[in-house]
C-alpha cells in the first residue's frame, strides 16, 4: 500500500488557541514557515518508530498545516492546554492522539481520552490499540 496524506479538510479554517480566545474574542492564528515544513511529517514529532510505522501503514504520513500549528502553539507539547475547533472530519482527533501518545510515552503517565459517543469510543479504542506500543487499559 502506497503512503498517502490525509484528505484535505473542508474550506473553513480551524480556530486555534493555546489557552482559548484572547480578550478580544479572537483566537491566535499562525502559519508554518517554509524552513519548518518538515513539521508536516509525522516523523518530525519524536514518536517511536513502531507508532510511526503503524500510522504509515494506515496511510497517515503527513498532517495538515493547521494540525502542525496546533502542536507548535505555546507549550502544548509540554502539557499546557490547547483549545481548537474544526469542522467534522477535519482531523481534530489526530492532534489529540499525537499529544496523548507523545505525553504517555514520554512521562509513562496515564491519559484520559473523552469521546462523545460509545460507538466512537469503541472505534478509537481499536484504533489506538493498533497504533500503540505500550499496553493500554480500556
Model's pTM, two decimal places? 0.67
Helix-then-strand count for the chain, H and E: 4, 2
What is the pLDDT at residue 81? 87
pLDDT tens digits, 31-52: 666 777 788 899 998 888 888 8
- Kindly tell me if the per-residue pLDDT of 5 is higher than 60: no
User: Which candidate, 94, 101, 68, 96, places its Cα nearest to that of 81?
Assistant: 96
Phi-psi label, residue 91: left if phi above 0, alpha if psi -120 to 50, beta otherwise: left
Q: For residues 58 and 18, give the distance between their C-alpha atoms in angstroms, rounded to a whole number.
A: 29
Residue 122 and residue 105 in contact, taking contact as beta carbons nearer than 8 Å: no
Torsion sign (Cα): 106, 109, 115, 119: positive
Confidence label for 26 from pLDDT (cuts 50, 70 and 90): very low
Q: For residues 5 and 64, give the distance between their C-alpha atoms in angstroms, rounded to a whole number.
A: 9
What is the pLDDT at residue 67? 92
What integer is the mean pLDDT of 68-83?
87
- The domain locations on the chain are 35-131
Q: For residues 52 and 45, give the distance between their C-alpha atoms in angstroms, rounded to a whole number.
A: 10
What integer is the mean pLDDT of 84-110?
86
CATH superfamily for 35-131 is P-loop containing nucleotide triphosphate hydrolases (3.40.50.300)
Range in 20-29, 40-49, 109-118 the model is least confident about: 20-29
Give me 133's grid cell: 506500543
What integer is the mean pLDDT of 61-73?
90
Q: 93: number of CA atoms within 13 Å, CB side?
A: 15
Residue 47 and residue 103 in contact, taking contact as beta carbons nearer than 8 Å: no
What is the pLDDT at residue 32? 66
Amino acid at each position: 500500500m502506497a503512503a498517502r496524506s490525509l484528505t484535505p479538510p473542508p474550506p473553513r479554517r480551524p480556530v486555534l488557541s493555546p489557552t482559548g480566545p484572547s480578550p478580544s474574542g479572537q483566537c491566535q492564528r499562525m502559519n508554518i514557515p517554509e524552513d519548518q515544513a518538515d513539521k508536516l511529517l509525522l516523523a518530525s514529532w519524536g514518536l517511536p518508530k513502531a507508532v510511526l510505522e503503524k500510522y504509515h501503514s494506515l496511510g497517515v504520513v503527513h498532517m495538515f498545516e493547521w494540525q502542525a500549528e496546533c502542536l507548535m502553539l505555546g507549550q502544548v507539547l509540554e502539557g499546557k492546554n490547547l483549545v481548537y475547533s474544526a469542522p467534522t472530519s477535519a482531523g481534530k482527533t489526530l492532534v489529540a492522539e499525537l499529544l496523548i501518545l507523545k505525553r504517555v510515552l514520554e512521562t509513562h503517565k496515564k491519559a484520559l481520552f473523552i469521546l462523545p459517543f460509545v460507538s466512537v469510543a469503541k472505534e478509537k479504542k481499536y484504533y489506538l490499540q493498533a497504533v500503540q506500543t505500550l499496553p493500554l487499559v480500556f
